[in-house]
Copies of this chain bind each other. A is one copy, B any other.
Amino acid sequence: MSSASEISLRIKIINPTTTGITDLETQKEYAGYAFSGTEIIVTHLDHGPASIECELDEAICVPDFLEKAKQAETEGYDAVISNCFGDPAVKPACEVLNIPVIGPAEASMHLATSLGHRFSVVTVLPNIVPMIENLATQYGVDKKLASVRYVNIPVLDLREKKKLINALYREMLGAVKEDHAHVLVLGCTGMLGVAKELEKRLKKYGYEVPVVDPVGASVKFAEALVALGLKQSRLTFMPPPEKARTGFS
């Protein structure tokens, strides 16, 4: 992390879950990809799911996420990242906030698309596969998606790094050889610190193929948007009409 005097850009990473134990590791991963002038602060929810593994989890994290996101804007952050590959809460937050809101899947998919002919995503559980395919369709890059695969490991068990890397390697090899993927994307923001190791192992066995870490992709998109003075279009994400809304302050 940079000294205060050098800070030119502050990004709030919001874990859309109530699990704070990975906050520090997450902060380090984001900071490792950030430029020296970027300050990264990670936070998590008070109310919501322990992890994000289905439509239900994505839906119920939104109310408290929006609270945390509005608070980040009030505190002067330059951008907010929803720290989950399902990009939960990104769309309503794009309406509510006046600073850029970045989804790791959207950033990763665009970066991956620009690097080769087709990409595959390897995620955690089968529950999420149709959700990620729907994201690709909605983001307009579905023609570039070779496949979505999964390692069948729940989010909260991802910290056994060796097991994780082996499982990812196996699916990535399948993606390249069977699905004709030319670029690979980690389909979960909790697969920390494994992208480069996988890239190396794939290269060793003959496949020189980029592995996109959604943590890195989203911090770069956030830095880029802030530096370019850009944020989500107000024609797509109009400010919400004023009205009574309870269960959401």
Contacts and interface: CB of A to CB of B under 8 A. Distances in A.
B245 A57 contact: yes
Interface string A40-80: 00000011111101111111101110100000000000000
Contact of A247 (B47, B141, B232): B47
Given A33-B227, A140-B143, A246 B47 contact: yes
Given A114-B221, A235-B209, A92 B138 contact: no
Contacts of A216: 227-228
Contacts of A229: 196, 199
A241 B113 contact: no
A238 to B, nearest CB: 4
Contact of A49 (B18, B139, B244): B244
Contacts of A246: 18, 46-48
Copies of the protein in its oligomer: 6
A35 interface: yes
Contacts of A187: none
A127 B138 CA distance: 17
A199 B58 CA distance: 30
A133 B118 CA distance: 11
A182 B116 contact: no
A208 B233 CA distance: 7
A176 interface: yes
Given A59-B62, A224-B224, A247-B64, A212 B236 contact: no
A36 interface: yes
Given A50-B245, A137-B138, 9 more contacts: A55-B92, A57-B240, A60-B247, A117-B130, A154-B241, A182-B235, A196-B229, A210-B233, A217-B228
Q: Which 5 A-B pairs have the closest CB atoms?
A: A116-B233, A47-B247, A208-B234, A220-B224, A116-B236
Interface of A: 8, 18, 33, 35-37, 46-51, 53-60, 62-64, 66, 89, 91-92, 94-96, 106-107, 110-111, 113-117, 125-127, 130, 133-134, 137-141, 143-144, 154, 156, 176, 182-183, 196, 199, 207-210, 212-213, 216-217, 220-221, 223-225, 227-238, 240-241, 243-248
14 contacts: A49-B243, A49-B248, A56-B96, A57-B240, A58-B92, A60-B63, A107-B114, A127-B238, A127-B241, A182-B233, A182-B236, A207-B235, A210-B230, A216-B227
